[in-house]
């Protein structure tokens, strides 16, 4: 734990200090508590991914099926076993009305969330790297964003736009900054030159979302840092890693006539992770590993 990340600070304040105190900060997307615990062994910043949650809990695309109460319970479970990690939460559009968005933000902050990402998509929503997204009028979104900012205490708020028109994107991110957001995110950008231009104009931490097979180019943290990016969201690495691993395990089970002799993980290895979680829950002062 770095000196700027005091144990007495709120999760939001600790995340804010970390973002401003580091050159660049990756947030690893998770889809359940076990994936969060495994990712948390290697990174101290996690992302509660709407894509991952919808896939894991519903087996459906990220199109607005998620309810705010499910996300709150999910964050509570992760915070219980990972008391010191930075937890950034995807809350879509705040689940419709500004009043609901403010209520969700209050409960998430009380539940230990470090930050939220609030987007300007209309419903029915779509994954940010898909076509067919509908965007709110800027004034409508700004009204919601300002109410959320007035409601939060220390929670870190990332304002996200899904606009695809460059002039409109610039207009929006500058307005987000003026409204008081802590960081800005433009989802689905296709060029690092655009990232560089926008990050230079917005005097706030700039966030970049990486998803395998998405619209944005595959980049290293070094490349992104050079373009002015401060936060990097990896939405789906745990989910996408689990899919082929499960497929391979099922194929192997068929091939080996039901034998588990070649399993890479056994009950002892899995239980070790669970016991680590239990130990942190019982002794939350235990510090986390840093990337």
Q: Crossing angle for the helix pair 237-255 and 50-58, nearest 10 degrees?
A: 30
- Look-up of token digits 């709120």: 10
DSSP string, the chain: --TTS-TTS-HHHHHHHHHHHSS-EEEEEESSHHHHHHHTTT-SEEEE-HHHHHHHHHSS-SSS---HHHHHHHHHHHHHH-TTSEEEEE-TTSSSSHHHHHHHHHHHHHTT--EEEEE-BPSSP--TTSS---B--HHHHHHHHHHHHHH-SS-EEEEEE----HHHHHHHHHHHHHHT-SEEEETT---HHHHHHHHHH--S-EEEEE-TTSSSPP--HHHHHHTTEEEEEE-SHHHHHHHHHHHHHHHHHHHTTT--TT-S--HHHHHHHHHHHHHHHH-TTPPPP--
Predicted confidence pLDDT, tens digits, the chain (291 residues): 444 445 679 999 999 999 999 999 999 999 999 999 999 999 999 999 999 999 999 999 888 788 999 999 999 999 999 999 999 999 999 998 999 999 999 999 999 999 999 999 877 665 555 565 678 999 999 999 999 999 999 999 999 999 989 999 999 999 999 999 999 999 988 889 999 999 999 989 999 999 888 778 889 999 999 999 999 999 999 999 999 999 999 999 999 999 998 888 999 999 999 999 999 888 655 444 444
Tell me phi and psi for residue 237, to 5 degrees. Answer: -60, -35
CB proximity list for 288: less than 8 A, separation 6 or greater: 1, 40, 44, 82, 84, 85
CATH 3.20.20.60, applies to 15-282: yes
Q: What is the pTM of this model?
A: 0.91
Copy the structure tokens of residue 137. Answer: 């009028």
- Report the alpha-carbon distance of residue 182 to residue 212 in Å, rounded: 26
- Report the alpha-carbon distance of residue 152 to residue 134 in Å, rounded: 27
Quick one: pLDDT at residue 133? 67
Whether 41 contacts 286, CB under 8 Å: no
Quick one: pLDDT at residue 289? 47
């Amino acid at each position: 734990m770095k000196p700027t990340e005091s144990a007495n600070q709120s999760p939001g304040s600790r995340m804010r200090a970390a973002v401003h105190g580091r050159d660049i900060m990756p947030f690893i997307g998770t889809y359940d508590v076990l994936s969060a615990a495994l990712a948390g062994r290697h990174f101290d910043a996690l992302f509660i991914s709407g894509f991952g949650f919808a896939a894991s809990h519903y087996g459906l695309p990220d199109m607005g099926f998620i309810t705010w109460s499910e996300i709150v319970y999910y964050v509570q479970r992760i915070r219980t076993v990972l008391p010191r990690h930075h937890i950034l939460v995807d809350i879509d559009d705040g689940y419709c009305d500004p009043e609901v968005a403010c209520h969700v933000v209050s409960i998430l902050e009380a539940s230990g969330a470090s930050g939220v990402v609030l987007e300007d998509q209309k419903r029915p929503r779509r994954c940010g790297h898909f076509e067919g997204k509908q965007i709110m009028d800027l004034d409508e979104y700004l009204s919601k964003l300002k109410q959320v900012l007035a409601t939060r205490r220390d929670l870190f708020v990332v304002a996200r736009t899904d606009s695809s028109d460059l002039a409109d994107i610039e207009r929006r991110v500058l307005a987000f900054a003026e409204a008081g957001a802590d960081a800005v995110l433009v989802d689905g950008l296709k060029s690092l030159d655009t990232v560089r231009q926008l990050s230079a104009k917005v005097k706030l931490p700039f966030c970049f979302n990486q998803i395998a097979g998405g619209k944005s180019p595959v980049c290293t943290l070094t490349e992104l840092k050079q373009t002015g990016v401060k936060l990097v969201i990896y939405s789906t690495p745990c989910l996408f890693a689990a899919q082929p691993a499960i497929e391979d395990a099922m194929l192997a089970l068929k091939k080996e006539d039901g034998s588990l002799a070649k399993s890479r993980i056994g009950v002892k290895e899995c239980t070790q992770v669970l016991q680590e979680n239990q130990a942190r829950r019982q002794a939350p002062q235990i510090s986390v590993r840093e990337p």
